[in-house]
Amino acid sequence: MFKSARIKLTLWYLLMIMAISVIFSLIIYRVQVSESERILQRQRVRIESGGFLRPGFGPAPLEPEILEEARNRLKLNLILINLGVLIVSGGAAYFLAGRTLKPIEEAVEDQKRFVADASHELRTPLTTMKTELEVNLRGKGFGQEAKKILESNLEEVDKLSYLSDKLLRLSRYEQKEGLVFSPVSLNEVVEEVIKKLSGLTKSKKIEIVKNLEEVNIQGDFAALAEGFGTILDNAVKYSPKESKVNVDLQSKDGKTVVKIQDFGVGIKNSELPHIFDRFYRADASRTKEKVEGFGLGLSIAKAAIEKHHGKIEVESTPGKGSTFTVTLPTA
C-alpha cells in the first residue's frame, strides 16, 4: 500500500517540477528567438538604408541560417537540461516521497501492532472466563435461572474470543513482517477448507460442486486456508438451504484462478465497494434470515491473499448470487 502511495507521490512531485522546468524553458526559448529576430530585423533595415557594417565597426550581419542553427542549438540544450532535471528530480522526488510517508507508515504500523497486542492480551482473561463459566454450568450450585444467565454469558464470551482471534489474525496479515512461505498445494488447501465447512453445508443441505486442478504455489497454508475459508464460509452462509456452491481451481499462464460461485442473496452494486472494509456488513445479511457475523471475514481474506501477491474480485447480482474470483501468481 505504501509502495504505491510513494510512487504516486513521486509522480506528483515530478509533475510539478517538470511543469515549472518546461514552462521556464519555453519562456527562455521564446525570449531568445524574439531577441534574435529583433536584431536581424534591425540589421536588415540598416543594410537596406545603406548603413555600413564592417568588422570592428558594429555587429556582423546575422545570416538567417546562422540564426536557425543557433535556435536549434538552444532547443537541443534546453531539451538536454530538461532531461537532466527529469532524472535528478525523479531520484530526489522518490527519496522525498519516502521521507514524507515514513511517519505515516510508522503510525499505521504502530496502530496495527496495538490492535494485535490488545487482542492478544484479551485472549487469556477470555479463556479463563470461558473455563470458569463452563465449570459452573456443569456444577450443581446454581439454579435453572442462574444457569440460563451463565449460558448467555458463555455465548457472549465465545463471541468475544472469536472477535479477538479475528482481529489478531487480521493485524498479523496486515503487518509488514511477512509470513513464512513454503511450497503449498492449493487444491489441498481448498479441500481442507471444504472439509472444515462440512458441518454447515450438511446442516443447510448445500452441495459443493468442485472442479480442482492440482496446483502448487509458494505460500502459507494457514493464511491461504483462512482466505479461502472465509469466502467459502460466506458462500454457504449467504445461500438458501438446498442450493449449490461451485468451486473451481485452474492454473494457466503463470496464474492460478479460484472461482467460488454461490446462488444466494447476492450483494447490491452500491455495497460491493465496501464489503472488504472492516466491520462492514451489507443490508441483506442484517435483515431477512439474519446471519451472525462481525463483518471482518473478507478484510482478513483480502489481507491474507494480498500477502501472497494475489487479488480478490467479486461479481454479484442481488437475489441471484455472487462469484468471488481469487487470482494468485503460480510459483
> By the criterion CB under 6 A, which residues form the site for ligand ATP?
230, 234-235, 238, 262, 264-267, 275, 280-282, 284-285, 293-299, 322
Q: Which is nearer to Mg ion, 93 or 275 (by Cβ)?
A: 275
Report, in Å, the least distance between residue 276 CB and ligand ATP. 7
Residue whose C-alpha is closest to residue 115's, from 52, 170, 35 = 170
8 Å CB contact between 97 and 9: yes
262 interacts with, out of ligand ATP, Mg ion, none, CB within 5 to 8 A per kind: ligand ATP
Q: DSSP class of residue 259?
A: E
Q: What is the largest CA-CA distance in the chain?
A: 128
What is the Cα–Cα distance from 197 to 27, expressed in whole angstroms?
Answer: 70
264 interacts with, out of Mg ion, ligand ATP, none, CB within 5 to 8 A per kind: ligand ATP
78 interacts with, out of ligand ATP, Mg ion, none, CB within 5 to 8 A per kind: none
Report, in Å, the least distance between residue 328 CB and ligand ATP. 19
H/E run at residue 257: strand 255-262
Report, in Å, the least distance between residue 156 CB and ligand ATP. 16
- Cell numbers given for 301: 481474506
Q: Tell me the helix, strand and coil percentages in the chain, rounded to 5.
A: 60, 15, 25
Question: What is the binding site for Mg ion (CB under 5 A)?
Answer: 234, 297
User: How many residues are present in the chain?
Assistant: 331
Q: Which is nearer to ligand ATP, 10 or 316 (by Cβ)?
A: 316
Report, in Å, the least distance between residue 256 CB and ligand ATP. 20
Q: Which is nearer to ligand ATP, 181 or 280 (by Cβ)?
A: 280
3-state SS string for 69-102 = HHHHHHHHHHHHHHHHHHHHHHHHHHHHHHHHHH
49 CB-near residues (< 8 Å, 6+ apart)? none
Report, in Å, the least distance between residue 285 CB and Mg ion. 8
- Cell numbers given for 42: 534591425
Q: In 57-174, where do the E strands start and end?
A: none
Q: Which is nearer to Mg ion, 234 or 251 (by Cβ)?
A: 234
- Cell numbers given for 330: 503460480
Report, in Å, the least distance between residue 293 CB and Mg ion. 5
275 interacts with, out of Mg ion, ligand ATP, none, CB within 5 to 8 A per kind: ligand ATP
Q: DSSP class of residue 142?
A: S
Q: Which is nearer to ligand ATP, 94 or 294 (by Cβ)?
A: 294
**Which residues are paired to 207 by β-bridges?**
244
Q: Which is nearer to ligand ATP, 217 or 284 (by Cβ)?
A: 284
Report, in Å, the least distance between residue 97 CB and Mg ion. 36
223 interacts with, out of ligand ATP, Mg ion, none, CB within 5 to 8 A per kind: none
284 interacts with, out of Mg ion, ligand ATP, none, CB within 5 to 8 A per kind: ligand ATP
8 Å CB contact between 266 and 318: yes
Q: Which is nearer to Mg ion, 187 or 230 (by Cβ)?
A: 230
